[in-house]
């Protein structure tokens, strides 16, 4: 059976196929065709039939197709012998034949179209995944080349339009958390391709020196472009694959970090599309965790220029958990960065968004929990000036979250060491809450914090209370003088009118 397949593949192909092959080889040298379209996102690549040679060109990988007659023709989905049923000498060629066959696309716009071809491709992909997982045979360089070419032909594609592009609604008017996520219709095949790529990357049989010919900078860059996909299942696979590449291919690490930061720059200053930012931050959190101490100046610079500015986005709620983890990791790695991080948070502190302010207070507690006393002293005045404003917020969740800072023992210890500076700043805000805040929970928490101050230092508390009463008396006197002045002006205006 296998010999018949080989003979069939070795038949002489016509001149049009030769011309088509030459066009493919020429187009493959043009790297501009090998990028995922992210800007326009106006079309969805759903071929109505088996992909042609022209569509194969746009998905070509950096590797070259094996120079064998069976790989020069348009792939046709057909039933082939199982890899386990052929001899070990015939297995590499059959593996490449199957991988080449899986390069074709099927039409998933209708479940009734091409059902047989879809099932053949799915079963073939499953077999290839099992083959790599079982390590039943070594994958030589030529097999790897065809495998990565097939993976590229499937996953590197033009992404579908965003939700607001389909509906015509302005992007700033949509809440990403309330939108239904877009799900790729051909995910059953796409998932197997990603699983195949993941098995290839993590395989102990694959040498990094050989694999870097195919998993090169171009391939990694195109993987990063796919984080713009709206399908959360695809982004999860991309996150796992990229993380494994970062761990296995040491020579790719600087490029991957730089590329992620460039995506952050593009998000902040151009697109403002937050799709995939959370997954990238999750990868970056693991990367930061592996930084050596003392930290290089390059990493400090990226913290200030790329990571902290992510706090100013309107859609921060989608990726805030991952962002807070990255920021905290920086402080835990190098305690001297605490002042930089806290001042960065204060710089981007929200003025009118209360829900975002609650997130900031939660992140601030995590950062302060990892802050050393020497760094805390450098930013104590601007920090508690902002906390004092939060204590008097009319939004009870903001005031309540700010008062919860005193439930953290480490933060209370830092406050006790700097009570001479903090008490005068916070005392007035607490007294205002005690007298006039509408929420009873905030009123009770303010009373607890006030009692805590009294127990820390009675003399300082009485001095602050005395200063507060004097300021209140001056304010009342100033208000009376202002009202008296207005009354005199009204009387003068009345006399002039008469």
Q: Which of 457, 397, 479, 399 is nearest to 432 (CA)?
A: 399
pLDDT reported for residue 89: 85
- Of the two residues 370 and 174, the one the predictor is more confident about is 370
Give the C-alpha separation, 418 to 425, whole Å: 11
Q: Each residue of 296-345: pLDDT tens digit?
A: 999 999 999 999 999 999 889 999 999 999 999 999 999 999 999 999 99
What is residue 11's predicted lDDT score, i.e. its pLDDT? 42
- Residue of higher predicted confidence among 7 and 294: 294
Query: Could you read off the pLDDT of 72-129 as tens digits, one per residue?
Result: 456 677 778 888 888 888 888 999 999 998 888 877 777 777 788 888 888 999 999 9
Share of the chain above pLDDT 90, in %: 58
pLDDT at position 394: 92
Query: Three-state DSSP class for 434?
Result: helix
CA distances to 86, 133, 217 from 205, rounded to whole Å, are 21, 10, 22
Domain ranges of the chain: 349-456, 469-497
82-86, 240-244, 358-362, 474-478: which has the minimum mean pLDDT? 82-86
Report, as an integer, the average pLDDT of 30-35: 39
Find the mean pLDDT for residues 351-370: 95
**Is the pLDDT confidence value at 45 over 90?**
no
Rg of the chain on CA atoms, in Å: 32
Does position 218 have pLDDT exceeding 70, yes or no?
yes
Residue 178 pLDDT more than 80? no
Q: For residue 111, give the 3-state DSSP assignment.
A: coil
Q: What pLDDT, in 10s, does the model give residues 189-199?
A: 899 999 999 99
List the single range of 55-59, 74-78, 177-181, 301-305 with lowest mean pLDDT: 55-59
For range 159-163, the mean pLDDT: 70
Whether pLDDT at 48 is above 70: no
Per residue in 397-439, pLDDT tens? Answer: 999 999 999 999 999 999 999 999 999 999 999 999 998 889 9
Q: For residues 154 and 104, what is the distance between their CA atoms, to the nearest angstrom?
A: 8
**Per-residue model confidence (pLDDT) at position 417:** 94
User: What pTM value is reported for the model?
Assistant: 0.78
pLDDT of residue 186: 82
Do 419 and 457 meet the contact criterion of CB atoms below 8 Å apart?
Answer: yes
Distances from the Cα of 76 to the Cαs of 82, 102, 146, in angstroms? 17, 9, 16
pLDDT of 4 > 70? The answer is: no
Query: Which pLDDT value is given to residue 400?
Result: 95
DSSP 339-361: HHHHHHHHHT--SS-HHHHHHHH
């Amino acid at each position: 059976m296998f010999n018949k397949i080989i003979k069939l593949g070795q038949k002489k192909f016509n001149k049009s196929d030769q011309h088509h092959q030459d066009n493919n080889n020429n187009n493959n040298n043009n790297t501009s065709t090998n990028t995922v379209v992210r800007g326009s996102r106006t079309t969805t690549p759903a071929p109505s039939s088996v992909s042609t040679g022209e569509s194969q060109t746009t998905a070509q990988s950096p590797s070259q197709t094996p120079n064998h007659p069976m790989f020069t023709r348009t792939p046709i989905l057909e039933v082939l012998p199982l890899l386990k049923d052929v001899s070990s000498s015939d297995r590499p060629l059959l593996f490449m034949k199957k991988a080449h066959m899986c390069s074709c696309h099927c039409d998933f716009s209708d479940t009734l179209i091409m059902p047989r071809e879809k099932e053949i491709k799915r079963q073939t992909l499953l077999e290839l995944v099992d083959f790599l997982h079982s390590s039943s045979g070594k994958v030589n360089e030529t097999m790897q080349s065809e495998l990565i070419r097939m993976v590229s032909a499937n996953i590197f594609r033009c992404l579908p339009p965003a939700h607001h592009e389909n509906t015509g609604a302005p992007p700033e008017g949509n809440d990403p958390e309330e939108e239904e996520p877009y799900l790729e219709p051909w995910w059953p095949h796409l998932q197997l391709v990603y699983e195949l790529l993941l098995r290839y990357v993590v395989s102990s049989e694959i040498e990094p020196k050989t694999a870097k010919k195919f998993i090169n900078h171009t391939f990694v860059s195109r993987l990063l472009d796919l984080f713009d996909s709206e399908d959360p299942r695809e982004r999860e696979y991309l996150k796992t694959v990229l993380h494994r590449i970062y761990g296995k291919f040491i020579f790719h690490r600087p490029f991957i970090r730089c590329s992620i930061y460039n995506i952050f720059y593009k998000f902040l200053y151009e697109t403002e599309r937050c799709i995939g930012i959370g997954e990238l931050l999750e990868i970056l959190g693991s990367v930061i965790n592996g930084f050596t101490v003392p930290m290089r100046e390059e990493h400090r610079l990226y913290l200030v220029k790329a990571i902290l500015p992510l706090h100013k986005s309107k859609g921060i709620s989608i990726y805030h958990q991952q962002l807070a983890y990255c920021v905290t990791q920086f402080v835990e790695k190098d305690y001297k960065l605490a002042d930089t991080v806290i001042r960065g948070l204060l710089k981007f502190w929200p003025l009118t968004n209360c829900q975002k302010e609650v997130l900031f207070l939660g992140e601030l507690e995590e950062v302060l929990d990892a802050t050393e006393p020497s760094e805390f002293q450098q930013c104590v005045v601007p920090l508690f000036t902002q906390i004092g404003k939060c204590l008097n917020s009319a939004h009870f969740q903001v005031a309540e979250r700010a008062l919860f800072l005193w439930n953290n023992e480490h933060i209370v210890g830092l406050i006790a060491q700097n009570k001479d500076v903090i008490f005068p700043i916070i005392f007035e805000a607490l007294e205002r809450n005690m007298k006039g805040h509408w929420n009873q929970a905030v009123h009770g928490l303010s009373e607890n914090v006030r009692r805590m101050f009294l127990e820390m230092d009675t003399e300082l508390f009485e001095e602050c209370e005395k200063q507060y009463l004097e300021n209140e008396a001056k304010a009342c006197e100033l208000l009376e003088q202002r009202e008296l002045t207005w009354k005199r002006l009204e009387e003068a205006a009345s006399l002039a009118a008469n």
